[in-house]
A and B are shown apart, each in its own frame.
Chain A
């Protein structure tokens, strides 16, 4: 069974927008409501949309299970790696070693009400990004495994 051309085309067009919106939530996690998990879940809905509109066997590239597994593990490794990197710069595990250094994400926060500068907060945006990648991979994988069984007659990969 195949879904109609309208659904498939609409899913194709919507996918990049969902991706951008999810990434927006992830990267503004330290400024606006949302964050890594919420943004990652939004991105995962994009993968799920494609999975529903097409078959798993039609998906290619980074939408395969192998890549999703790498996203999941890679996100987690980036998260704990950021925390561990603090030990190397002389801080404590999970120490915010990027904040107020002037480098990436290191601009000091202005005092008082301000519109919010994205390059602040040190390791927090980095960890949001890590969690976003991890949740994207993890949630997509869950749906892929569940639907994979449904479509391919119980075959496990």
Chain B
């Protein structure tokens, strides 16, 4: 395959590579070696394509890929009457930003999973679903077609549900998976209903085509409510968060780290719908305050629910809800001033920057924390924090990685959580000081909660039942180390990262006209 062909078809290969590996896995993945080679190789290849694709998009602008057409950029065929009829991948800077997250976390998680999951049977099915989930997430963040978004949402949700149930755990994991599957399907059906409303009104499924004809009629408002409800549930924001702790705590840890990214792809969908599909036409003050309210609730309820937890992964799951609140708060402030150019320029864009930056940082440090939790469970065999203690004597590296993750999530410099939270605090303070103060308070509670975890898991004398415990195998350490390295590097040098990766993504999110013209001009 020549270099030119690769460059041209990178968006298709991005989902084709994990899918081919996933389909071949049940046949070729019978032995441990072949399974490892296929899974890790496919994920490494996908990550390389994803990074290459992101680089292309950041340097040369929006990339179109029209499936099944004569040429990749032919978005509107001459005989279609001006409507983009085919499935189109519209990859702008925001999609590239999300793709980059999937690439980094996906690779670390697969590396980690090469050791952590090998004690179990049925692993060819496990990697089949895992690769399918990766393809689903990549499809969600890159597609420019609303119905296609629904399809990829279903792929990632159902594969995720299968993975949550992978370790049956006397039926508890199956219960969490069933809850996840039923709620995801309900959310996806709401989304499908909204897609139906758009199709009836505008004869189109393409996001850009619908956006360019958007009337904001009563039906569109109903569709907006359904889309926001469905996607807010999928991203685990508070009134609709109840599936998150069960699913996150029962899944194998490598899967949990990927479920976080899957939730963030739903968050991407929420922002894409609000900004690109509706844009300035919606009632931005109301919608903005709704998103802010969801964010504040998630933040506060998440952290207060986290403090009394005894199960280490359940505690982290509640923190994941709480951190999602920061992203909703940051971007919500951006939505609330969307129609006011002066405020948008002075602090709105900064708030959106902060929210998006936090998505990236959260994926890194939360992924890292879930992986360290998996390492602790791998060694001790329990998730109950009261039964742990003194693990710092035996698991030095895991302890260091845990400290890095915990300080990052609590927003302590010089880790990446501090950088994004500072951007959010500063911009939100200019919008409404009370919101910023609550956000800081939540950060303090987060720190308190993680100090408790750190103390009960790693500190204290060595317990006799774990004195044979050893450090986890090298692939697990490498997976955690990769994420920890990124947490530190971004924490120390946030400025170039914001300027070159986050700010273009935020610009792409707000620039609705650019998104529409990229598709409409492709004929």
Residues of B within 8 A of A74 (CB): 27
- With A80-B16, A84-B20 as contacts: A92 and B26 at CB distance below 8 Å: no
- Rounded to whole angstroms, the CA-CA distance of A73 and B27 in the bound complex is 7
Q: Does A100 contact B (CB under 8 A)?
A: no
Secondary structure call for the B interface: helix
How many residues on chain A are close to B (CB under 8 Å)?
Answer: 18
Query: Shortest CB–CB separation between residue B84 and chain A, in angstroms?
Result: 14
Residues of B within 8 A of A92 (CB): 9, 12, 65-72
Q: Does B222 contact A (CB under 8 A)?
A: no
Q: Report which of B12, B26, B27 forms a contact with A87, defined as CB distance below 8 A.
A: B12
Q: Does B466 contact A (CB under 8 A)?
A: no
> Are B23 and A76 interface neighbours, CB within 8 A?
yes
> Are A80 and B20 interface neighbours, CB within 8 A?
yes
Q: Of all chain A residues, which has the CB nearest B12?
A: A93
Query: Shortest CB–CB separation between residue B355 and chain A, in angstroms?
Result: 33
> Are B20 and A77 interface neighbours, CB within 8 A?
yes
- Rounded to whole angstroms, the CA-CA distance of A84 and B5 in the bound complex is 12
Interface size of B as a range: 10 to 19
Residues of A within 8 A of B27 (CB): 69-70, 73-74
- Rounded to whole angstroms, the CA-CA distance of A132 and B66 in the bound complex is 26
Residues of A within 8 A of B19 (CB): 80
Residues of A within 8 A of B69 (CB): 92, 95
Residues of B within 8 A of A102 (CB): none
> Are B24 and A77 interface neighbours, CB within 8 A?
yes
Query: Shortest CB–CB separation between residue A98 and chain B, in angstroms?
Result: 13
Contact indicator per residue, chain A 65-76, by CB within 8 Å of chain B (1) or not (0): 000011011101
Most buried by B among A69, A74, A80, A81: A80
> Are A73 and B72 interface neighbours, CB within 8 A?
no
Residues of A within 8 A of B65 (CB): 92-93
- With A92-B9, A92-B71, A96-B68 as contacts: A69 and B20 at CB distance below 8 Å: no
> Are B26 and A73 interface neighbours, CB within 8 A?
yes
> Are A73 and B9 interface neighbours, CB within 8 A?
no
- Rounded to whole angstroms, the CA-CA distance of A70 and B124 in the bound complex is 13
Q: Does A52 contact B (CB under 8 A)?
A: no
Listed in ascending order, the chain B residues whose CB lies under 8 Å from chain A are: 5, 9, 12, 16, 19-20, 23-27, 65-72
